[in-house]
Structure 1
Amino acid sequence: MTVKYAPNELLSITDFTKKIATILKGIKEQSCEKVGILKNNKLEAVVISTDEYERLKSLEELFETMEHQEIFEAVQARKNTPLSSYVPFEELAKKFNVDPKSL
Structure 2
Amino acid sequence: MVAYTRDEIISATDLARNVSSTLNSIHDKEKIAISKNNKLEAVIIDIEEYERLKEAYERMEDMEIAKLIEERKDSSTIPFDELLKREGISYDDL
When normalised by structure 1's length, the TM-score is: 0.70
Aligned to 2:75: 78
When normalised by structure 2's length, the TM-score is: 0.76
Quote the sequence identity (%). 41
Residue correspondences, number = 77
Q: Is residue 22 from structure 1 mapped to residue 21 from structure 2 by the alignment?
A: yes
Unaligned runs of 5+ in 1: 80-103
Unaligned runs of 5+ in 2: 77-94
Q: Is residue 32 from structure 1 mapped to residue 35 from structure 2 by the alignment?
A: no
* RMSD of aligned Cα (Å): 1.4
Aligned to 1:95: none
Q: Is residue 42 from structure 1 mapped to residue 39 from structure 2 by the alignment?
A: yes
SS in 2 for 1:71: helix
The superposition leaves residues 33-70 of structure 1 with CA deviations (integer Å, 9 ceiling, x where unpaired) of: 11100111111110111101101110110000000000
Q: Is residue 60 from structure 1 mapped to residue 57 from structure 2 by the alignment?
A: yes
